[in-house]
Every structure is written in structure tokens, then in C-alpha cells.
Amino acid sequence: MTEPSWHVVARFDDVAKDDVVAATIGDAALAIVRTNDNRVFVLDATCTHGRASLADGFVDGTEIECPKHNGRFEVTTGEAVASPARAALRTYPCRLSDGCIEVQL
């Protein structure tokens, strides 16, 4: 099994406050979220309910809303907090390094 390693997914400045951008590492489609207080979280981009990319979603505080069915997830934990989302999203460790966002996977 391959050891997890750190990958640069975006420049911090390229992600606006209260927003999300898409990134891809290998087969993994990721959503990079920056909250209003400049915290960054990385989650699977594909909604666990329907086939939609959360990278097109709406960031509201520490929640992200699916653009297709309005299901919501807590970005700090990946927990589904509003139906029709029920299953949690996978989250990934991330860090800032030299102005870049790195994710471990």
C-alpha cells in the first residue's frame, strides 16, 4: 500500500474567502474550501447523495451546499448536516506551505 504523501492542490490566494475550488489528484476529485476566517479544508468533491460536484457548491460559514439538491456538509468534519445528504464526505489532512495548499492522500 502506498504511503500517503503531500500534494500541492492550489495557491491559497486562488481560493476566495467563503468559496470552494476544484482540484484533482490522480483519480481523486477534491473540493478545496476556504472559510471566511481563512481556514482551509479539503474534502471529496462528489456529493454522497447525488452525482454533483461540491466544487460548484455554496459555502456558508463552515458548511458547503450541494449545487444540485441543496444537501449540506460540515466542511470541518465532512458530516452530512442537511438532507438529502446522509452519508459523510471524506476529508483529507491539509496544510499551508509557501502560500500553497497541500493535501495529504
∠74-41-4 over CA atoms, to 5°? 120
Q: Which of residues 7-66 bind other proteins (CB under 8 A)?
A: 16, 18-19, 49-51, 57-58, 60, 65-66
Task: Collect all residues with Cβ–Cβ distance below 8 Å to 18 and sequence separation of at least 6.
Answer: 34, 35, 36, 59, 60
Nearer to other proteins among residue 19 and residue 28 (C-beta): 19
Residue 102 near other proteins by CB under 8 A? no
Q: For other proteins, which stretch binds (CB under 8 A), given 2-10, 31-39, 69-77, 96-104?
A: 69-77
Up-side HSE of residue 32: CA atoms within 13 Å toward CB?
A: 26
Binding site for other proteins (CB under 8 A): 16, 18-19, 49-51, 57-58, 60, 65-70, 72, 82-84, 86
